Structure 1
Amino acid sequence: MKPRLECPELKVYRYMNARMELEGKEKQHYSFLEKGLEGELKFDSLLEKLEGEYLILKDILLDYQGNLFQIDTLIISKTTIHMFEVKNYEGDYYVDADNWFSTSGTEIKNPLSQLKRTESLFRRYLQFFVPL
């Protein structure tokens, strides 16, 4: 298995941050990317304790009929596939009509919608590429 690496976008932000003072949305996005990787690495360390026979795949980028989608972690056993979308949010959030907000009122992407989209595309991907 390949180790989890930072995404190319995070690499660019790290280079930029080392050479200049990031401000505003750029600084916020950079922090978001760093926290995301930190959460995924913590999740990976928890999986090291998993017992049994599993295949663990990390950071999978797939294309199904022109729809790119990314899966943080797949755990495959003989009978089951478990898909994980890892988030590393901090603070308090609330949900209003399927929209997610921080307590400051900033809207964030609904992680459940993202997972539902990924799950649907992955299911169709499997049906197309892995005939039953």
Structure 2
Amino acid sequence: MREKTRRHRQLEILDKRYELSAFEKEELQKLEAGYEGELIFDGILEGFIHGTNIVHLKDYNFHPEVVDARLLTRPEAEAAHVQIDNVVIAKDYLYTFEIKNYSFDLHHRDSQWFFDNGGEFADPLVQVVKQRSMMGKLLDSVEGRIRMFNVLVFINKDQTYSTCPRAMKSS
């Protein structure tokens, strides 16, 4: 069973008690959209793995001992925590799925992501690269015996993105 994060639950409670700041409202909306996207993905995945011996871990969290400063997406004090939306283990394969439920369109060009209006958007692949690196460190003792695939999923059926990076294109 997937659960809302502590911060998500806190903001929901605070929203009922007083007027949230603009920043808090935006944070709550992002958390709600993310949670909804994860539930949609869970439903799709369950259809494939129900009745099998495939393991599905939701919101997998761990604290790696060694953090590569180049992979940090947050301040170093917070970086000792890795959260992966979905980890799927099937035989000697491990898949990670990072779910994005964006309600806006994106464009990719010159190794950068942009909104429709041309404003720059933070690269969502940075998180996937960090997860791969940290999960690789965690599985270091079994490396070579487990093949790992890391996938970024844009779950919102109404969202479009164009000219995605080669690493994202399916074959």
Q: TM-score, normalised by structure 2?
A: 0.68
**What is the alpha-carbon distance in structure 2 between the residues aligned to residue 19 and residue 106 of structure 1?**
35
Deviation at 1:90, TM superposition (A): 1.4
Greater length-normalized contact order (CA 8 Å, ≥ 6 residues apart):
2
Q: Write the distance in 2 (CA, Å) between the matches of 1:8 and 1:106.
A: 31
The 1-side partners of 2:65 and 2:122 are apart by 24
2:89 and 2:40 map into 1 onto residues whose CA distance is: 19
Q: What amino acid is the match of 1:59?
A: D
Which residue number in structure 1 is paired with residue 53 of structure 2?
Answer: 53
Deviations 1:34-73 (A, max 9, x none): 0000000111111110144301111111011163111111
In structure 2, the partner of 1:15 is 13
Does the C-alpha gap of structure 1 residues 116 and 11 become closer, same or farther in structure 2, counting only changes over 3 Å?
same
Q: CA deviation at 1:105?
A: 5.1
- d(CA) in 1 for partners of 2:121 and 2:16? 27
| Structure 2 residue identity aligned to 1:12 | Q
* Whole-Å separation in 2 of the counterparts to 1:84 and 1:105: 28
Within the candidate set 21, 30, 35, 1:32 is matched to: 30
Residue aligned with 2:108, SS: strand
SS in 2 for 1:86: strand
Change (3 A) 1:62 1:89: same
SS of 1:75's partner is strand
Aligned with 2:137 (options 113, 124, 130): 124
- If the length of structure 1 is used for normalisation, what is the TM-score? 0.86
* SS of 2:139 mapped into structure 1: helix
Letter in 2 for 1:43: F
The alignment-based identity, stated in percent, is 32
Distance in 2 between residues matched to 1:14 and 1:98, nearest whole Å: 36
SS at match of 1:65: coil
Alignment RMSD (CA, Å)? 2.0
| Residues 7-59 of structure 1 deviation map (CA, whole Å, 9 limit, x = unaligned) | 00001110111112224222111100000000001111111101443011111
Matched, 1:42 2:40: yes
Aligned to 2:122: 109
Measure how far apart 1:79 and its partner are: 1.9
Report the number of matched residues.
129
Q: Structure 1, unaligned stretches of length 5 or more?
A: none
Return the structure number with greater helix share: 1
1:102 and 1:108 mapped to 2: Cα distance? 6
Structure 2: tracts of 5 or more residues without a match: 67-79, 146-171
